[in-house]
Amino acid sequence: MKLEGASCLVAGGASGLGAATVRELVSRGAHVAVVDLDADKAEALAEELGGATIAFKADVTNEDEVQTAVESAVEAFGGLRFGVSCAGIGWAERTVGKNGPAQLQPFETVIRVNLIGTFNVLRLTAAAIAAGEPDEEGERGAVVMTASIAAFDGQIGQAAYSASKGGIVGLTLPAARDLSRVGIRVCTIAPGIFDTPLLAALPEPSRQALGESIPFPPRLGRPEEYARLACHIAENGMLNGETIRLDGALRMAPK
């Protein structure tokens, strides 16, 4: 798929991995809808990047809000070819701690945002992509989802987060098979430790120690590295049904 002139949607696109992906897509000549719960940040990014970028507020767990954002992007761009889902949250709590069993509500919330929200974006963007015309090879577009190496190497206290990201990994192949009949590819990126706003709040010695734990390169991942991989997936027609670890060979210790 050619990204120049392609219409794209990035959920969770106002910061971190999502914002880097928006920037990379725009640099390659794509038209991008920035969809985020933080409307101010989404608007600011769209304004900064110019006319090829528009912004919409949406909670990824809300069917109507995501549907409205998708429909608005289709109307603005005349269709949709590529979707990226980056929205997500975390929660740290042991299954049984000093005060008894883990709280159920935070677990449900993480699953709802990370897994159900991702599926909501997938199904609605895929439906819009499926309505478009195929290219000469029968492809209509692609969707990239975001998991984490915690899906494979979940640490102590990460039961909710790891379960939600593991669900995305498990979703990838059947979704790709489901959508193959309409010429849509589905892949997932599982990042390691990346320099996102979540880590920006840590003291610099802690950030440096995290980076040094990665075999090579011994540093935090850069959001633009995620973005370049997402764009490569869009452009490489044989990438389908795959989860790609982007982690510098890191395998997480229990804690």
At 57-90, the pLDDT tens digits run 999 999 999 999 999 999 999 999 999 999 999 9
Q: Left, alpha or beta for 126 (phi > 0: left; psi -120 to 50: alpha)?
A: alpha
- Which tens digits make up the pLDDT trace of 140-168? 999 999 999 999 999 999 999 999 999 99
Residues 167-197 as b or e (16 or more Cβ within 10 Å = b): bbbebbbebbeebeebbbbbbbbbbbbbbbe
Say yes or no to pLDDT of 129 above 90: yes
Are the C-beta atoms of residues 60 and 88 closer than 8 Å to each other?
no
Q: Is residue 1 part of a domain?
A: no
DSSP state of 114: I
Alpha-carbon distances of 85 from 92, 118, 145, 188, 206, rounded to whole Å = 22, 6, 5, 9, 28
pLDDT band at 126 (very low <50, low <70, confident <90, very high): very high
Query: Is 15 within a domain?
Result: yes
pLDDT band at residue 37 using 50, 70 and 90 as cut-offs: very high
Is position 251 within any domain? Answer: no
Of the candidates 56, 161, 194, 226, the residue annotated as catalytic is 161
The mean pLDDT value of the chain amounts to 96
Two tokens at 49? 């990047």
Residue 253 domain-assigned (yes or no): no
To the query of whether residue 161 is one of the catalytic residues in this protein, the response is yes
CA angle 185, 242, 222 (to 5 degrees): 100
Residues 6+ positions from 1 with CB-CB distance below 8 Å: 81, 82, 135, 139, 141, 142, 234, 235, 237
Q: Is the pLDDT of residue 201 over 90?
A: no
Residue 153, C-beta contacts closer than 8 angstroms, at least 6 positions apart? 251, 252
Does residue 217 belong to any structural domain of this protein? no
91-108 average pLDDT score: 96
Note whether residue 110 is domain-resident.
Answer: yes
Q: What are the pLDDT digits (tens) for 171-194? A: 999 999 999 999 999 999 999 999
Tell me the residue range of the domain where 113 lies: 7-190+224-243
Task: Report the CATH number that the domain containing residue 79 is assigned in CATH.
Answer: 3.40.50.720
- The pLDDT confidence band at residue 206, using thresholds 50, 70 and 90, is confident
> What pLDDT is attached to residue 51?
83
d(CA 255, CA 248): 18
Domain count, the chain: 1
Has residue 206 been placed in a domain?
no
Beta partners for 56? 35
From CA 45, how far away is CA 239, in angstroms rounded?
A: 29
Does residue 214 lie in a domain region? no
